Structure 1
Amino acid sequence: MLDAALTPVTKGSTPFAKGLIDVLTLSEEDVKESLDLRELLDALALGFKALSRGDVVNPARPQLDIPGAGYSLAMSAWMPGMHLTVKIVNIFEGNVAKSVPSHLATINLYDPATGLPVCIMDGTYITAVRTSGSAVVSVRALARPDAKVAAVIGAGVQGHQHLTLLPLVRDFTELRIVSKHFADAEELARRHPRARAYADAEEAVRSSDVVCLATHSYEPVIDAGWVRPGTHVSSVGVAPPKGEFPTELAHKGRLFVESKDAFEPFPVGCAELAGLAADAGTELGDMLLGRAPGRTHDDAITIYKGMGIAMEDMVAADLAFRSARHLGKGTKIVL
């Protein structure tokens, strides 16, 4: 593990001064160019396993509210072999009207042996791709092997990322896109091979093998009755108090979550799972470890409800950092 370079304190310096530290900085473009998406899916799967084994320190995230504007979340994680990871993500919905992303994030990496800063990177892209990546890991593990049609509900950042990642885990013949505004679905469909915009969500969902919910809706965007036997459903949208996922769907199939924290009150847990007992869901990592069943038959409905946890940021940021060093990406600064 290559960590920050520390200049020794010279004679006459303030006692215990840290000296000068070389820290790598990665822009959003640096991160994009450094992340291999197939490697990211594998790293996330390993992260879920480590989380369920108890190898990951992943404390509950505090939320700082800014009335009338948005909120800020502090997310930290660590596991042996990786850097201490701290992400600050700010969610300001009004940014969309200003042509600024609603989710903005910065990730800091620290040497676990000394606590010295190692890297400062943009976390906006990582937040987007690790969220969709975790859902697609669930598709890889739980969707029927012969799944051919996927419906993505939402044509924003998450919709785009899902369409990029889904073809990496199944040979889909059709990728259906549904959006609140049909023009947005049409625009996104033009950017992806095999994609087609649908105006009717029910029509898109009823004959799909995989359904991915990727919106910022405060109300369920599908009806549980539309989901046919054998479908895998994933949901990554977070918009309490209700959210995009119809809670009654959790009673129709086998529910998988990142961790049992999903059943805690928001902002730690998922608003859509409020009132459900923790034993209503299985950790995705337990299934990947073979400690719990996944899809048990072709007609089973499987469901993944993601909240977005710091473990996912940690493994994605670690992968980006190591790749960036190998590729010579980024800029060094002195702190």
Structure 2
Amino acid sequence: MPLFLTDADVEALADLPSAIDAIRAAYSAPVDDARNPGRIFADSGREWMRVMPSVPASGRLFGAKSINGSFADGLRVSYLISLFDRDTADLVALVDGNRVTGLRTAATTAVGAAALVPDRPLTVGVIGSGFEAQSHTAALALVARFASVRVFSPTRANREAFAERFSAELGVPVTAVDSAEQAARDADLVLCAARSRDESPTVQADWIGPNTTVISIGSTTPAQRELPADLIARATLVVADGVDEVVHGSGDMRAAAAAGIDVESITASLNDVLRGDREVDVERGIRIYKSTGSGLQDVVVAETLVDLARERGVGTELPVGIVTTRK
């Protein structure tokens, strides 16, 4: 019978190393738009739905994440991942996708960053101190060596709490600083993980050194901004988890293209980088990782959670399933 994993189940099962391994395996396959099409939208103006399907080349399952929203009482949003067996098309699991989104985003960032940063102790600048900043810092620490970390977010108490937590967890100096510029200037690795309140960039180009890796996860729609166009103009390489959606769907990249920057020529897929089809010089040039997310990430990470749940006896076996018929 199908397994149902609640949000609490996902929280208990969440495992970054397993998620990173699943993402790396998924993106080591060639780009295949038939297996991983773009988002599908339905919108009435009051209710809306976004569906992100994927048939991964890796793993045993396929499926989709649906994001379901309603403005009837403010904005309320739910997330559901449905997983099916590749051989039988039977429903295997239903997973609350609320926490999966953050887990798979951090895991994919870690895989991308591992291909872009040099293998030496790094000075890290973090802009933001919330959930995304914390999950990404934890994930990046699994694939890169940190010498020190500087963190900025607008609320002093939040950035100081971040510094206290990660000083203890990482065993390196983590300092709360008073501006985004202080966090980012001349860092080897800059993590942008703070939503811009007015959709203006959260960093400036002249803060970024000539050989820095920049992680940008907050410009996932045409309206959202995180990086300025003149920083993208300086980049030698932009690695995207999905080239078409990053180039055409990220506000940063659209603004850069509008400023006359040939963004397509400097953008490569994470797949091509992992497969060695696009060379990366990790010591020279500004290297940017940009993410808009994908159903592929949701499905392969959800599969790892289902596997862990079966091993540990977590989750609820549903008393019924759905009919699978032969055609």
Give the structure-1-normalised TM-score. 0.82
Q: Which amino acid aligns with 2:20?
A: L
Match for residue 182 of structure 2?
203
Match for residue 228 of structure 1?
209
- Distance, in Å, in 2 between the alignment partners of 1:129 and 1:175 is 22
Q: Which amino acid aligns with 2:142?
A: L
Match for residue 43 of structure 1?
22
Match for residue 314 of structure 1?
299
- Distance, in Å, in 2 between the alignment partners of 1:190 and 1:178 is 13
Contact 2:128 2:193 in 1 (8 A): yes
Match for residue 170 of structure 2?
none
Match for residue 223 of structure 2?
241
Cα deviation, residue 185, structure 1: 1.7
Task: Output aligned runs, 1:205-220, within 5 Å.
Answer: 205-217=184-196, 218-220=199-201
Pick one of 149, 153, 159 that aligns with 2:127: 153
1:160 is paired with a residue of what secondary structure? Answer: helix
Gapped regions of structure 2 (runs ≥ 5):
168-172, 321-327
- Distance, in Å, in 2 between the alignment partners of 1:241 and 1:304 is 19
1:143 matched to 2:140: no
1:108 matched to 2:89: no
1:334 matched to 2:315: no
Distance 1:92 1:177, change over 3 A: farther
Pick one of 34, 51, 55 that aligns with 1:74: 51
- Distance, in Å, in 2 between the alignment partners of 1:175 and 1:284 is 26
Q: Which amino acid aligns with 1:272?
A: D
Query: Taking every aligned residue pair, what percent have the same amino acid on both sides?
Result: 28
1:168 is paired with a residue of what secondary structure? Answer: coil
Contact 2:246 2:291 in 1 (8 A): no
Contact 2:119 2:145 in 1 (8 A): no
Task: Output aligned runs, 1:59-138, within 5 Å.
Answer: 59-65=37-43, 67=45, 72-80=49-57, 81-90=59-68, 104-138=78-112
Q: State the aligned residue count.
A: 304
Distance 1:152 1:75, change over 3 A: same
Distance 1:47 1:203, change over 3 A: same
Contact 1:103 1:124 in 2 (8 A): no
Distance 1:148 1:263, change over 3 A: closer
Gapped regions of structure 1 (runs ≥ 5):
1-21
2:146 is paired with a residue of what secondary structure? Answer: coil
Contact 1:56 1:79 in 2 (8 A): no
Contact 1:152 1:162 in 2 (8 A): no
Match for residue 183 of structure 1?
157
Match for residue 25 of structure 1?
4
- Distance, in Å, in 2 between the alignment partners of 1:154 and 1:29 is 25
Contact 1:264 1:270 in 2 (8 A): yes
Contact 2:36 2:295 in 1 (8 A): yes
1:273 matched to 2:273: no
Contact 2:242 2:292 in 1 (8 A): no
Cα deviation, residue 200, structure 1: 0.9
1:259 matched to 2:259: no
- Distance, in Å, in 2 between the alignment partners of 1:236 and 1:70 is 26
Root-mean-square deviation (CA), in Å?
2.7
Contact 1:135 1:235 in 2 (8 A): no
Once the two structures are superposed, residues 293-315 of structure 1 have per-residue CA deviations (whole angstroms, 9 ceiling, x without a partner) of 11x25232111111111111111
Cα deviation, residue 157, structure 1: 1.6
Contact 2:126 2:152 in 1 (8 A): yes
Cα deviation, residue 223, structure 1: 0.5
Contact 1:147 1:209 in 2 (8 A): no
Distance 1:71 1:207, change over 3 A: farther
Match for residue 4 of structure 1?
none
Is 83-92 or 204-213 further displaced after alignment? 83-92
1:192 is paired with a residue of what secondary structure? Answer: helix
Distance 1:23 1:297, change over 3 A: closer
Cα deviation, residue 91, structure 1: 6.8
2:29 is paired with a residue of what secondary structure? Answer: helix
Once the two structures are superposed, residues 178-209 of structure 1 have per-residue CA deviations (whole angstroms, 9 ceiling, x without a partner) of 21333322233232224322221111111311
